[in-house]
Structures are given as structure tokens and as C-alpha cells.
Structure 1
Amino acid sequence: MSFRLGLIINPMAGLGGSVALKGSDGADVARQALVLGAVPRAIERTRIALEVLQGLDLQVLTWAGDMGADLALELGFETRVLGAADNCPTTADDTCRAAKAMLEAGVDLVLFAGGDGTARNICETLGEQIPVLGIPAGVKIHSGVYALTPLAAGQLVAMLVAGELVSIAEQEVRDLDEVAFRAGQVRARFYGEMLVPSEHRYLQHVKNAGNREDEVLVLDEIAAGFVEQMEPDILYLMGSGSTVAAIMAELGLENTLLGVDVVENGEVIAADCTAQQLLALTAERDVRIVITLIGGQGHIIGRGNQQLSVELLQRIGRHNVHVVATRTKLNALNGRPLVVDSGDPVFDASWSGLIRVHTGYRDAVLYTVAAP
């Protein structure tokens, strides 16, 4: 009997990232993102996962149109359409209805593409009744129900379809208050748990909020060392996160904690930029990018900094990207590599290898970046 794979795509997921909206929860925000020129990314990220499954013995049960059916049929899967969205753009209600229909149809696993809001909707509907796995496609991914990358999601499902022994475990669903998030405040809530295939290589961890004991002093050292080496007449794209914020504080500059600011000669020349703004500002300029990793997860590209597009990163070059992080933050990964999840597997693979991470005052380590 064929493996019965439930598929739900939230086509609005991740819209707000490239246009600096910090999320896409709610139809109004999704419409605003589209007006600002955001390009939907969830479908293409789902394509990466599903391509791994082509030729395997499975049936896809899904929702009509861009919530799954169009892509499944395009890729040649045996497809059964269970229903259709009532709203355009799609809403949380459409996601919940699709999840309920898949539960009633008796799927073996629900594979869904979205962010923490999507995971929250599916958790409210399914709880721990059937296994699920998320394809990361949102701006914010704090929940532990997602694979590390779309490719990793496909590989994990392939293991299940092949009948390999895969553990299953309860994983947390967390979500941020997007209104507070846009105001620079991180307020995450626990919403429940879902059953998730638990294969260490492919599944991401719940975002680690970290502790504060000696971290402030270390951040000050990282910031002081980095500011000393900053060069005149260079554009510095300052990414999101508290480690980068410490550098901005050392410079005495206002900082968009959850956005990308552009600094030149000790001044902010553009704040909270979109992907298109960054491409325009950096044309024909000498540029450096400063980023940190997400604690507990290890992502350096593709989580909370979608404004740093593949086009921009390719133009600037890996050698002009500076990663800053405390050793405590690196140690918390327990040897897991840093992750680049841009949505372009070829680009992501090109980053594999060792990268220099600034960890203190004139102190750095080499750390591995690898495709899961």
C-alpha cells in the first residue's frame, strides 16, 4: 500500500521577510507584503522537498491550487485533492480545514510548509493525533517541528516512505507576537506539542533564548574588536540579532534588532531595509555583511534575515560576510554545523566548509557550515 502523504502549503508564509515586515501572519500583512513587492517562497521551498520523493511509492493528499495540488500534480505525484481554500489570500482557517480533512482521510504524515504561525494552526487542529513535519518557509521559526531545510524535510520523509526505522518524538510549537516583534521585542509563547519524526541530522531544535550571565561582557568584547577593524567608505549591512546589536551599541547607533541596517563611516544611512533596497544601495559599492547565528539552531542565512537575498550574497561574496557569536552560543550547538537555508540548494551547498566566527576581542574560531 502506498504511503499516504498529507501536504499543506501556506502560500503566504515568509512573505514579510524580504520586505522587512518581520512576518506574514494575517491577510492584511500578506496583502501589504505583496504590494511592497514580496515574492512568495513557500511553494518553491516545498518543491525542493518534494523533488526528493519523486519516484517513490506514495500518494499525495492535499488542498487545491497553491496550497499543494498544483505543485504535486506538476511533479507527477498521484494526487488526491480533499478540498479548496475559502479565502484569497489564504488564511489560518484554510490551513486548519485542510489539516482536519487530512486527519479524517487517515494520512500517514502531514508535511506542511510555513512558519511558526502555520505550525500553531496545525497544532490547534491535530495536536498529537498524527505525525507532522514542517518545511521551513516562514520568517520566524522558533518551533521544533521543522526540518533544518526543505531538502532535509524531503530526505526525512523519504526515510519514512522507504520503511526505515525513524524515531518519533513530541516537539514544541512556539510562536512570536508579530506586533511586538516588529517593535523589536521578542515574546515567544508555547502553544503545544506535535508528534514529529525525530532524526537528529535533519530536525531543527527549538530556538534557544540563551542566558545572560557573562554573555554581556563577551558581547562587549566582540563589539569592541569588530569596531576596531571597520574600514572607512565601506557599506556594512548589519543583520538582526543581539550580537550584531552589541556592535551597533559600541558604535553608538540606533539599531533595528530584528532587521537589517546599513552603516557607513559610523553613521546609519538606511534602517530596516528590504531586500530590494539593499540591492539598490549596494550596487557598485564595497560591502561587508555582519550576521550572527540563531541560538540553539545554528542558521546564519534564511532565518529572520531574508532581506539578505541570494542575489545580494552572490554579488558580495562569502569572503565579505562576517559571522559574530559567543563561544557559548557555538557550544550550545553540540557540534552541529551552521546552516545556510536560502531556498537555493546549489547556493546553500556552495557555503559548505569552514567559516571564520568572531568570538571575542581579536579572537575567532573556524566553524563548519554544512548542508544537512
Structure 2
Amino acid sequence: MSIPSFKLGLVINPFAGIGGSVALKGSDGIETREKALALGAAKLANTRTRLALEELLSLKDKVHIYTASGEMGEALVAEMGFEHTVVYQQQAAQSEARDTERCATLLQQQNVDLLLFAGGDGTARNVCHIVGESLPVLGVPAGCKIHSGVYAVTPQAAGRVVAMMVQGEIVTLQEAAVMDIDEALFRQGRVNARQYGEMRVPSELRYIQAVKMGGKESDELVLSDIAAHVIEFMEEHPERLFVMGSGSTVDFIMQELGVSNTLLGVDLVQNQQIVAHDVTASALLEYTTNQATTLVITLIGGQGHIFGRGNQQLSPDVLKQIGREHFLLVATKSKLQGLNGKPLIADTGDADLDAQLAGVISVTTGYKDQVLYPIAKF
């Protein structure tokens, strides 16, 4: 008796994350997407979904994919040679939330074994609105905002979880929160996240991310020590350009430096003065060309991501140009302890670069105080 094919539902939000590299902090709304495209942003959701599906290439004869037309799934799976059925035709040139929801409805009716979707928190909300906890789901991280616990830590990790299920490995399901924030407030530097529901996800802990821990660091003495260390380094190297990543820890450093900061963007500092605010990926590449540069970054509490979550301006080209040896990673020890032993995650969108970044890295946790902590290899 032959085993029936694994029925994989797939829906891609083609515009997910398009505003990240051009500092628009999201992709909600036609105007935002059109502005992002005009600024030269690339649509990467299909590229990131490809990374997930590549983990299934050796299992193609065991998988049948049900998906939507065009960039919402069909084009990619056809190109990769998967057997597939199109259950939904996209209604307009630019896919909208209603397209995701209509496709999810039809995939639910197909009784798929797993619904794989690519996007950000807005896409997760759309899927949750339709399927709730009625069937297993898993997100491929592709958006600017990824606070929800329904996403894999990287696209490759998503593919590996699906592969486990296809091969019949026992995978426990657990309820995970769907979170989202107000994009308008996000663009003003305010994070107002709330829960919109729960969905059931495969609970393979190596590969599924935690819900982002919100709030600012409370231990100001420790943060002051970290800031003092970074500012002293700036004083010793006035010729260097400092790329200041997003997040509350870096924000505290900027406050101590006495300069304005884009909490949820990337700013440039040289000789302890602001050079540019909220820069895009392309501008960063220009600024850092033939310029000695240090990248100051922190990690997302509870998740451990250092790249690929809300800082898409730090593109693979920018990171390669700066060089891993010039990354100044800052975090309190309590923030590291909050990871409960899980490694840091680099999800740059470039698998080769992610592999190069893997390994132990020095984390500044106070004044002239560093610890070594691993970056995962997927």
C-alpha cells in the first residue's frame, strides 16, 4: 500500500518585508508598497520561501502543494518542480490581505496537512483570522514585523520542520500567539504590540521562534556601563563610522551620547556626531564603501535574532562590506540568560553569509566586560 502524498498548503505574501530595506518599517497598504518599489526595494518573500522549499527537494515525490496563482505560490513551486494544484487565483496585480484570507479558506477546505505561509505579523493575522486552531500552520519569516510565535527562526528551519513532518517524524503541536503592532506608531518609534489570537504550530524548539519580549531594559546601571564602553571606543576612533542598529539597548547608548536616535531604524555616527538618520540599505552601502566602519547591534529579547528582524537595512552586502570582525554586539547578561541557552540567530536572507557568521562571537555586557556566545548554524 502506497503512502499518500503529504498535502502542503502554501500562501506567500509577495510584498512582505518590502519596506524594511528602504526604512519604511512595514509593507501595509498600496501606497507604502508603491513607495518602496519606487525607492528600489526588492520583493524577497519568494526568495525566502525558496530557501524553505529547498529543504524538501529530496522529498518531492512525497509532497503535493496546494497554493495560489502567480507570486503567491504557483510561480515558485512550478519553477522548483513540485507537483501542485492552484486553488486560488489572485484578484489584482498587488495581492492584498483579502487574497491571503481567501486562499487560506480554500486551503482549509482542501484539508491540507500543514499550511505554510510566508510573510510577517500582518500575514499571520490574516491566516489566523481564517484558520484559527483548526489546522497546523507554520510561518516562513519574510516581513519587517515578526513578533509572533508562529514563525520558524529562519526559512531553512521552516523547511526542515516540514521535512520532518513529511517523513513521518513525531512532531508535537502547540498553541502559539499571533502578535502584531500598529505600523503607524511603529514608524514614529513606538512599539504597541498585542495578541490577536493563537494558532497551532509544530513545536520543534530548535526551529520555532519565541514570542518577542517587549519593553526596554530596566537595569540602567548595566546599560550605562555598556554605553560607556561603546562611547569610549568611539572617542578612541573618531575617524570610524558607526552604524547604530535598532533596539532599546542601542537607543540607550545614543541617549548617553546625547544625540537623537531612530529607535526602530539605523543611524550613522562619526566623531560622536550624527551623520545620517534612518538610512536605507542602499545608502548604507554607499556610506560604508571605502570607510572604516563599526556596526553596533543588539539582539531581540526572547528570540535571539541579531539580523533579519526589523533591521533589513543591514543587507547582506552591507554586512559583508563591514565585516564580522567589526560587529560590536551589545546586550545585558540578563538578556542573554533570557535565551535559556538558545544560540543567537543570523537570518540575513543570504544562506552563505549566515553560515559565515555562525560561531562564537564576543558580546559586550558591561564596561570592558565581554562574554562569548554562539551564533547558530542552520
Q: Which TM bucket (shorter chain)?
A: over 0.9
Q: Given residue 302 of structure 1, which amino acid in structure 2 is its aligned partner?
A: G
RMSD: 0.9
Partner residue of 2:222 out of 218, 222, 225? 218
Q: How does 1:360-371 map to 2 (within 5 A)?
A: 360-371=366-377
Deviations 1:281-309 (A, max 9, x none): 11111111000000000000111111011
What's the CA shift for 1:84?
A: 1.2
Counterpart contact for 2:67–2:84, Cα < 8 Å: yes
Q: How does 1:1-372 map to 2 (within 5 A)?
A: 1-56=4-59, 57-210=62-215, 212-213=217-218, 215-230=219-234, 231-372=237-378
Gap runs ≥5 in structure 1? none
TM-score by length of 1: 0.98
Q: Given residue 228 of structure 1, which amino acid in structure 2 is its aligned partner?
A: E
- Runs of 4+ in structure 1 displaced over 2 angstroms? 210-213
The separation in 2 between residues aligned to 1:309 and 1:87, in whole angstroms, is: 30
SS in 1 for 2:151: coil
What's the CA shift for 1:24?
A: 0.5
Counterpart contact for 2:359–2:376, Cα < 8 Å: yes
Counterpart contact for 1:30–1:89, Cα < 8 Å: no
SS in 2 for 1:273: coil
The separation in 2 between residues aligned to 1:119 and 1:69, in whole angstroms, is: 20
The separation in 2 between residues aligned to 1:204 and 1:178, in whole angstroms, is: 22
SS in 1 for 2:246: coil
The separation in 2 between residues aligned to 1:241 and 1:267, in whole angstroms, is: 19
Counterpart contact for 1:204–1:297, Cα < 8 Å: yes
The separation in 1 between residues aligned to 2:274 and 2:75, in whole angstroms, is: 44
Aligned residue-pair number: 371
SS in 2 for 1:233: coil
Q: Given residue 223 of structure 2, which amino acid in structure 1 is its aligned partner?
A: L
What's the CA shift for 1:113?
A: 0.4
What's the CA shift for 1:210?
A: 4.9
Q: Given residue 246 of structure 1, which amino acid in structure 2 is its aligned partner?
A: F
Q: Given residue 4 of structure 1, which amino acid in structure 2 is its aligned partner?
A: K
Counterpart contact for 1:219–1:360, Cα < 8 Å: yes
TM-score by length of 2: 0.97
Gap runs ≥5 in structure 2? none
The separation in 2 between residues aligned to 1:197 and 1:212, in whole angstroms, is: 31
SS in 1 for 2:306: strand
What's the CA shift for 1:212?
A: 4.9
The separation in 2 between residues aligned to 1:89 and 1:228, in whole angstroms, is: 49
Deviations 1:249-299 (A, max 9, x none): 111000000000000111111100000011111111111100000000000
Counterpart contact for 1:296–1:333, Cα < 8 Å: yes
SS in 1 for 2:336: helix
Counterpart contact for 1:174–1:190, Cα < 8 Å: yes
What's the CA shift for 1:336?
A: 0.3
Q: Given residue 151 of structure 2, which amino acid in structure 1 is its aligned partner?
A: Y
